[in-house]
Amino acid sequence: MKDKGEKKVLGHKKIETVVGYLEAFYRLDPASGVRCFRGEANSTWDMRPSVMRGLKADAENKILSELTAESPSEFANDQNMFGKLVRAQHYGLPTRLLDVSLNPLVALYFACAEEEHLENDGRVRVLEFGPRRVKYPDSDAISIICNLSRLNEAERSSLNSIISLSKEDPNADIGKKWKQSSAGKRLLHFVKEEKPHFLNEMVLGDFRKYYFVYPSKANRRVVAQSGAFVVGGLLSYENLERANSFKMTSLTVAADAKMPILRQLDALNINARSLFPEIEYAARYIKKKWIEEDSDSDLLI
């Protein structure tokens, strides 16, 4: 007998209601670490940070520098590069941070709410990180990984090549090569800008791992969305199903169920007004709701 709120498609059950989604969620094995969720409006999308999608070559450090130079006061209180990247992403700049939520209903909302993808199945990825892969903004590993965004593409490629030497030549002193490289020296300089007492040592294995990062709660939108982030160093976010850093499960959301699900989430106060606390989003939500009370569009971003 088919579970209420789901339908069987190609051997997998597609989510059709909030109840069906929660039933699928509670059937997952109990989490042994931190469990987070990422909603995607199109189930065919790759899971990649925005900086890895559709930008010109060597854009990452330039766009960040341009934004911080344009509005320095906005970033004045950020104590580390992680904080700057969180703020930049908040304003729509592509970064190497992959946003996730600790609230499964928030992820379900984002799997449904993009108007241009209402005809596509959505997806919620469920990621589970063990204790060793969970970090905070003041972590040395996170400081190092986030400051990669200040290097150019050639410098990041150079560091990646040095790390790869360990596979080609187990006897290679990659730590020494790293310290002697201009890219390694620049990265160390950037890290010491925010951590003056940082020792001249980097765990090179950190660049080949994915980490879950709890953000500070200084950003209203992060708080409203129960937000958190995933970072991946020099990794390219490929073959994620085989990643050692986390376990991943995917739940597919049926395209024709997106609008009914958004109405159900709205009844639970999961909507554009609650998830985007800035006044322009509240105004947009209220305006649409009063123009057409029976319209589905008032539930979208």
* 228-279 per-position pLDDT tens digit: 999 999 998 988 878 889 999 999 999 999 999 999 999 999 999 899 887 7
| Through-space distance between the first and last CA atoms of the chain, rounded to whole angstroms | 36
CA dihedral over 215, 265, 277, 64, signed as positive or negative: positive
> Any idea where the domains of the chain sit in the sequence?
6-299
Q: Is the pLDDT of residue 4 over 70?
A: no
Task: Give the model's pLDDT for residue 12.
Answer: 56
In this prediction, residue 243 carries a pLDDT of 86
Q: How far is CA 238 from CA 54, 100, 232, 241, in A?
A: 16, 18, 11, 9
* The predicted structure's pLDDT at residue 297: 55
Q: State the pLDDT at residue 286.
A: 78
Question: pLDDT for 84-128, tens place per residue?
Answer: 999 999 999 999 999 999 999 999 999 999 999 999 999 999 999
> Which amino acid, 103?
N
Residue 11 pLDDT > 50, yes or no?
Answer: no
How far is it, in rounded angstroms, from Cα 106 to Cα 111? Answer: 9
**Measured CA angle at 109 (ends 37, 118), to 5 deg:** 120
State residue 301's pLDDT score: 60
* Distance (Å, whole) CA 20 – CA 44: 21
Give CA–CA dist 191/198, Å, rounded. Answer: 7
pTM over the 0.95 mark: no
